[in-house]
Structure 1
Amino acid sequence: MTGRAHAIFTAITAALLVSSCAYTTGVTGTEAGADPNQDLPTFWRSIATLDDRSRISTWRRAFREGVADAAASGHANEVAAAGVLLQPDGGLADPRPPAGYYRCRFIKLGSQGSVPLSYVAYPWFRCQIEDQGDTLRFTKLTGSQRPLGTFYPENRLRMIFLGVLVLGDESRAHVYGRDASRDMAGTLERIGDARWRIVLPYPRFESLVDVIELVPEA
């Protein structure tokens, strides 16, 4: 190999290594340079995109706007019947759920304008939470749209969710941070003795806020 050819090969190899190390394996891959030994309640900030940090910071505003839009569009009774599930300030202390299988349901509140529906409640589905030490892994196991990601410590009232949306018959999830249209970000709160919710503010499509209710399987 000539000196010039060797130099080109070295440059290409280095570029490939940088690209492959940009994210570790996994849905919420850690950006290169992130320090896993830093303060845990702030660790998620080193992983989240700037856009998702902004979305998470506005979760309460998105929640209130979604509830108000749904109620104004003729769904006040459904919102009221949901009780604490759709009350923005209904979170309780100690948000970390135990590992195991859960019954979950998806509720979309408010309309971004492209879709006229302001309240949509989907049937119950099955999901799973796996204990990974300081973090938890969340997976929606059934359906054509399946959130998959990680819960990170934040404070005594909530954890942070960062993940991606898996579609259709896809068997491999996108890496978080690679495709903004698939990235998901929000908060996890406990709202009862054995009841939790994930709040996803300003999702990419359709609604103003999405709420996922979680209750352990019997």
Structure 2
Amino acid sequence: MRRAPAAVTAAAALLVVASAGQAADWRRTATPNDRGRLRGWRDAWVAALTQARSTPDGAAAIARDRVLYDPDHALVDPVPPAGDYRCRTVKLGGGDALSFVPHEWFRCRVGQGKDPASFAKTTGSQRPVGTLYPDTDARAVFLGTLALGDETRAMPYGRDRSRDMAGIVERIGERRWRMVLPYPAFESTLDVIELVPAE
């Protein structure tokens, strides 16, 4: 895969600046559609797991890594520290053989803004870019957009419903996090992005 230009990461920083003036309250930034997706996160998760377990690969992977796929497993301090990470996306749900689609590891970065942090997947053909808003002691909220292919800039959040992304971020281990995106616009019922610090 071709590496995403640095402008994508810079765009994440711009999203942080724009949102910091809103007291880091994701509810004031989220679109009505994304507030609905976030309200339905558990329904999406349960449906996606049921579909994924219907495939041999999905059932085996979920059984091997119960922590990653358990919707009720979350630890305090949900926002990853600023730095470089390895990240991989697993798409759950979608029907038939596409109900469990794991992807390879790519590069991601968490940047520390004045108040909320930024997140950007910096390699790969589908790259979430956005802001991590504090929510509870065990959960943060991600709002951002999807950069595709060779695009050099991330689209501003709220401009294109098909590119907007919303999810919850949780810490699930000592140095392990996940971002869960319910009802993404493309391909699946639920996306799980696993993050671990880069070596």
State the shift of 1:36 in Å.
2.2
**Correspondent of 2:46 among 64, 84, 87:** 64
**Which of these residues, 126, 138, 141, is aligned with residue 157 of structure 1?**
138
Counterpart of 2:179 in structure 1 is 198
Residue in 2 aligned with 1:49? 31
Q: Does 1:121 align with 2:132?
A: no
Question: How many residue pairs end up in the alignment?
Answer: 186
User: What one-letter code is carried by the residue in structure 2 that aligns with 1:81?
Assistant: R
Q: 1:214 to 1:83 in 2, by over 3 A?
A: same
- Deviations, residues 52-107 of structure 1 (Å, cap 9, x unaligned): 00101111221111111110233211111122001111111121211000000000
CA distance in 1, matches of 2:93, 2:32: 24
Does the CA contact (< 8 Å) of 1:150 and 1:161 recur in 2? yes
Contact 1:27–1:174 (8 Å) recurs in 2: no
Number of the residue aligned with 2:129: 148
- What is the CA-CA distance between 1:28 and the residue it aligns to? 7.0
**Residues 69 and 109 of structure 1, relative CA distance in 2, 3 Å threshold:** same
* Cα distance in 2 between the residues matched to 1:35 and 1:105: 31
- Partners of 1:58 and 1:30 lie apart in 2 by 27
Give, as a single letter, the amino acid of the residue that structure 1 aligns with 2:71: P
For residues 196 and 78 of structure 1, what CA distance do their matches in structure 2 show?
Answer: 17
Q: In structure 2, which of residues 58, 65, 78 is the aligned counterpart of residue 95 of structure 1?
A: 78
Can you give the 5+ residue segments of structure 2 that lack an aligned partner in the other structure?
Answer: 1-12
Identity of aligned residues (%): 52
Matching residue of 1:171: 152
Paired letter, 2:88: R
State TM-score, norm by structure 1: 0.80
The letter for the 1-side match of 2:37 is R
Kindly indicate whether the alpha-carbon contact (under 8 Å) linking 1:134 and 1:153 is maintained by their aligned counterparts in 2: no
Code of the residue aligned with 2:82 in structure 1: it is: A
Report the AA paired with residue 66 of structure 1. A
Query: CA offset at residue 197 of structure 1?
Result: 0.2
**1:36 aligns with one of 22, 28, 31:** 22
Higher alpha-carbon Rg: 1
1:186 corresponding residue in structure 2 = 167
1:213 is paired with a residue whose SS is strand
Which protein is richer in strand relative to its size? 2
Q: Is the 8 A contact 2:82 2:111 kept in 1?
A: yes
Q: Distance in 1 between matches of 2:38 and 2:196?
A: 23
How far off its partner does 1:26 sit?
A: 3.6
Give the partner amino acid of 2:55: S
